[in-house]
Amino acid sequence: MAATSEAKSVDSFSMPSPKERRQKFINSTLEPNSFDAFSMTEDIFVSDNIFIITLDDNSTIYSDIKVPESYAPFIKKGLPVELSLIPFVESQFDPYAQSSTGASGIWQFIPSTALENGLKKNWWYDGRRDIFASTKAASHFLKDMKRHFKGDWLLAIASYNTGAGNVGKSIKKADYVIGKKSFWDLNLPRETEIYVPKLIALRDIMSNPSKYGVKIPNVPNKAITKFVSIKYPIDFYTISVLSEVDENEIYQLNPGFSAWYFLPTMQKRLLLPANNADIFSKRYSKLIRLIYSKKSHKVVKGDTLSKISRIYNVSIKSIKVLNNLSSDLIKIGQKLQLPIEGVNENKAQIKIAGIDYKIHDKTIIYNHKVKRYDNWYKIARYYNTNLKTLLKWNNADKKTTLKVGQLIKIKMKGPILSEDDNIKLRYVVDLGDTVKNISIGFDVPQRNLLADNEIRSARSLKAGTNLAIYK
C-alpha cells in the first residue's frame, strides 16, 4: 500500500516531534483517537453521482469518482465512513494510479497484499482497479488491523500505510501500551507520520466544509448506474454500440477491465448508466438470438458435468456459468443449456440506432506467456476451455513439455460489431509491459501499434496508457 507504493498524494508538510504532535492534537478539536464519532451524512458515499469538491477559487480538489456507492462496505460493516477518504491520500481517487513499485488502484494495493485480500489480476482484469472489489478488500484489511491493534483506528490506518510489522516494531521500541498511549507517541516513517494527520484533516474538512471554504454540491441519493449481467463473451466496442455509451465512459465505470473482451467466467457483471442498461440488455439478447443457436442436454442416469463437457467439447466452468450452477451437482431430467455455437452467416448484420453493423464471429488469438508452475491443465482451466481444445490450438499433446516464457495460443470467440471490416480492440498497459510483448500478444506489428496510438518510440510506453489495437 502507500508505504511501498509511492502513491500520489497531497503536498507534504513538515512535522513536529512525536511529543509535540501528541500535545498539539490533544489540544485541538479534532479528537485524533476518535474515528467513530463522525457527523458526515452517508448520502455522499452511497450516491451513484459524480462527486466534486470545489474551493472558493473554483479549483477542483476531488473528482473522477463515478461510483461512490462502492463505499457501502464501510457502512455495512460498521466501519467509520471517513475511512473511505483514504483513497484521496493514496491516489486522489484515480483508479489507474500506478506506482513504480507496482501498487495500483484507488486504494494502491501492491500485488502481494492484493492477493492476500482476494483481489485477482490477469490479462483481462485487475481487481486492484475495480472500485467495488478493492474497496471491499480494503474494508476487510482495515477491520482486521483494528482487531489486531485492539480497536485503535489510528494504528490500523498507520498499518495500512507502512504495514502492521513496522507499526509493531515502533510499538516495541516505544514501550507502547495500547489504551494508555497513542499513535502520536510512536516514531514511525515520516510518510506514515504525515499520512494519518492528512486523513484526520480531510475528515475535519468534510465534516465542516464551510469552515474551510469548501463547497460540496447537494448530490441526490438516486442511482444513475446499474449492473447488467452478461452470459457470453463480448468485446467492449460492441457493448458501446449496444448500450449507446461511449467506450471510454464504459471503461471509466469499470476500471478493473484491462483488455478488450468481457469474459463472464472471469467477471460476473458490468456497470452501465441506468438509462442505458436496459437498452443494452434488450439489444444484447436480440443479438445473441439473431446469430447464435443454442444446444441443450437432458441429464440422464450416469451423467456428470465432466462427462457432458467431454461429449460436447466445452468446459465444465462454461456449463456452470450458463446454467447458474453453484456446484457440480446435476439431477436426472434436468435440462442444461450448452455454450453457444457458430454464427448464422445468413443473419450477419444488425441495425442499431439506425446504423447497419456487420457481425463478426471473430476468433482472436491471445498468446499466454508460460509462468513457473504452469501446466496444460492449469492454463486450460484459467482460460475457461477444455484441455483437448487447448492442446489442439497449440499442436500439442499431454506429454508436450512447457517452458517458462513460452507463448501458448489462446483463442477467444464471440460477436464483434463494426461499421466496416476493421475491428478495434483495446488494452491498458500494465507495469512491465513492452511494445514487443503487447504486439506479440495481439499478433499485430509493432510499427502499427505505435502509429495507431501516436507513440513516438517503444521506450515512451507508460503503465496505465489506453491502447487502441486494430485487427
Torsion, Cα of 410, 414, 417, 421 (10° steps): 50
Domain spanning 2-215 has what CATH number? 1.10.530.10
Helix, strand, or coil here: 224? coil
Give 358: exposed, middle or buried? Use CB within 10 Å, 0-12, 13-18, 19+: middle
First to last CA, the chain: 38
Phi, psi of 79, deg, nearest 5: -85, 150
Residue 413 CB neighbours (<10 A): 15
**Residue 321 confidence class, pLDDT cut points 50, 70, 90:** confident
Domain ranges of the chain: 2-215, 225-342
The mean pLDDT value for 25-44 works out to 38
Position 109 scores a pLDDT of: 93
How much is the pLDDT for 280? 93
> How many other C-beta atoms lie within 10 A of the C-beta of residue 378?
12
Whether the predicted pLDDT of 243 surpasses 90: yes
Topology, domain 225-342:
Membrane-bound Lytic Murein Transglycosylase D; Chain A (3.10.350)
What is the rounded distance in angstroms from the CA atom of residue 457 to the CA atom of residue 14?
Answer: 40
Q: Which residues sit opposite 412 in a β-bridge?
A: 364
Q: Which of 241, 239, 243, 277 is nearest to 257 (CA)?
A: 239
Q: Residues 412-458: pLDDT tens digits?
A: 766 777 776 666 677 778 777 888 888 877 778 898 888 888 888 88
Give per-residue pLDDT as tens, 172-199: 887 766 656 678 888 888 888 889 888 8
- Over residues 209-225, the pLDDT tens digits come to 888 887 777 666 566 78
What is the C-alpha to C-alpha distance for residues 69 and 84, in angstroms, rounded to an integer? 11
Q: Residue 456 in 3-state DSSP?
A: coil
Cα distances (Å, whole numbers) of residue 33 to 30, 58, 185, 207, 431 = 9, 33, 12, 16, 38
Looking at residue 160, its pLDDT comes to 92
Pick the range with the lowest mean pLDDT from 37-51, 163-177, 380-394, 419-433: 37-51
Same CATH fold assignment for domains 2-215 and 225-342: no
What cell numbers appear for 166 in the block?
Answer: 513496522
Q: Return the percentage of the chain with pLDDT > 70, whole number.
A: 73
Residue range 382-407: average pLDDT? 87
* DSSP class per residue in 105-122: TTTTB-HHHHHHTT--B-
Q: Does position 76 have pLDDT exceeding 60, yes or no?
A: no
Specify the 3-state DSSP secondary structure of 59.
Answer: coil
d(CA 467, CA 424): 10
Most confident of 79-83, 269-273, 343-347: 269-273
